[in-house]
Chain A
Amino acid sequence: MLIVDDQAAAREILTRKLSRESIRTVTADSGRECLKIVRSAEHVDVILLDVSMPEMDGIEVCRELAKEDRTRSIPVILLTALDDHDYQIRFQGMNLGVSEFMTKPVNWKELFTRVRGHLRSRALARQIDQTLAGLPERGGE
């Protein structure tokens, strides 16, 4: 799981809490770093992305992720501050294919549930790929 937040304290707490739940994490301190990681060979199952970051904000990162097939399929959980309650930012996220929107302060139990749900979905996708690989090719189409 990739944690993207410009604040070191937030990255540290998220890493600590998620590691305690046996979720392996890597971190990025900016949107650009996030894109570099997901475009590299690094395997990322879920991205936890802060909306408010300097230079490239979370929405801009999502716009970039949506441009490529491989990165578009990675589930993104957008974290937003209390004063971003305006629906417009969520509307933008929804249209960019964001999977979840969570408001700070983070409800840890809910975050873990949602992260696990996405990890399960990714595992399911891999399982379907295996089943598909084991089935004969269809003829006639």
Chain B
Amino acid sequence: MDSANIERLLIGQHPLMHRIHSLVRKVAATDATVLIMGESGTGKELIARAVHSWSPRESGAFIPVNCGAIPAELLESELFGHEKGAFTGAVRTRPGMFSLANGGTIFLDEIGEMSAPLQVKLLRVLQERQVRPVGSDREIKIDVRVIAATNKDLGEEVRQGRFREDLYYRLHVIPLHVPSLRERRSDIPLLVEHFLAKLNLRQGNAGQSNSVRISEEAMVQLWEYDWPGNVRELENLLERLVILTDKDTIEVDSLPSNVRSFVSSRHGGVQPTLGEDGLDFNRAVEAFEDRLIGEALRRTNGNKQAAAKLLGLKRTTLVAKLRRRRSPATSDLVV
């Protein structure tokens, strides 16, 4: 990903993204260790790449390592390298990721997954700026900037004794929290347009009459969805929609059912259904009554006489229904 693309994705309109952008720019100019925290799919690696691209180390390598994806017994040799014959299968000497990143940046993703023994070795590397390959008795000096990332609450991991406190403070020099997509919801339309333009370009549709657009209503649904998988989930969904659609506009009915049902349930649009396990009929009827009674009370500013008239009920019937309600308090129906 080039620098222009990184910048475009990082900016957003949300005040937090403006700040993160400023922070990334400023931190890039230093050689400080950065700890990026955020949910999966929020773009932690993108931010690490931005720090590298805007740093004096730009011409050096950017080496990403996913500490959670490499088996613990292999991670040490991946990171620090190994000598020929150091273990079964080590048929030749191999440099580690730290050596490959020399003069550049190493990005240690999912640092919270690192085993306790390896945490000790990493701490030594950070303190002494040299690595010892597996099976070797000599240290190799390295000049590497370290950026780590985690989707865990690393402070809590320290409190639980699963992550070393001294390593945590070594990494936590510049903390950078990346907000989830739902925390910066106002950026969703911007991101949707960005990804659609990119995907249309890739499909050869850009600027053509067959370029795929999105309807206003579908955009609203994407904006309201909570995106547990964050920006990555949004990008993957749009890619799927652009590839699979045979129309030039993505409409609400093309969106996956999980998005539609989530949005619908937030606006009281979900009707109770009789599933395999049955349903609580009285509770379902009560919920339906609550919604109508609440709406009538809101419109009449809590006036029961007027609300009963709106509902075509006698005042006494409405009052009786309100008395029978289990929870919450009657007055709460006004909001």
Contact = CB atoms under 8 A, between A and B. Distances in A.
B26 A138 contact: yes
B186 A85 contact: no
Given A7-B301, A124-B179, A106 B186 contact: no
Q: How large is the interface on A (under 10, 10 to 19, 20 to 34, 35 or more residues)?
A: 35 or more
Given A9-B331, A82-B268, A105-B291, A125 B23 contact: no
A17 B332 CA distance: 9
B269 A85 contact: yes
Interface stretch (B45-53, B122-130, B138-146, B215-223): B215-223
Contacts of A138: 25-26, 29
B72 interface: no
Q: Is the interface of A mostly helix, strand, loop or mixed?
A: helix
Contacts, number: 115
Nearest to B29: A138
Given A117-B182, A131-B174, A105 B220 contact: no
Contacts of B290: 105
A87 B216 contact: yes
A131 B290 CA distance: 49
B267 interface: yes
Contacts of A135: 23, 26-27, 30, 174
B175 A131 contact: yes
Given A105-B294, A117-B182, A124-B179, A132 B19 contact: yes
B255 interface: no
Contact of B219 (A94, A103, A121): A94
B224 A101 contact: yes
A36 interface: no
Contact of B224 (A5, A85, A90, A139): A90
Q: Which of A9, A98, A99, A137 is most buried by chain B, counting CB atoms within 10 A of its CB? A: A9
Q: Is the interface of B mostly helix, strand, loop or mixed?
A: helix
Interface string B187-230: 00100000000000000000000000000110111011000000
B13 interface: yes
Interface string A1-28: 0000101011001100100000000000
Given A131-B175, A138-B25, A94 B333 contact: no
B11 interface: no
A90 B220 contact: yes
B23 A121 contact: no
Interface string B294-335: 110011011000000000000000000000000010011111
Interface string A90-122: 110011011111111110101000000110110
B216 A103 contact: no
Given A81-B298, A91-B220, A94-B220, A99 B27 contact: no
A129 interface: yes
Given A13-B332, A135-B26, A82 B291 contact: yes
A132 to B, nearest CB: 6
B20 interface: yes
B67 to A, nearest CB: 25
B266 interface: yes
Interface of A: 5, 7, 9-10, 13-14, 17, 73, 79, 81-83, 85, 87, 90-91, 94-95, 97-106, 108, 110, 117-118, 120-121, 124-125, 127-129, 131-132, 135-139
Which A-B residue pairs are the 5 nearest by beta carbons?
A73-B15, A128-B19, A103-B267, A138-B29, A105-B294
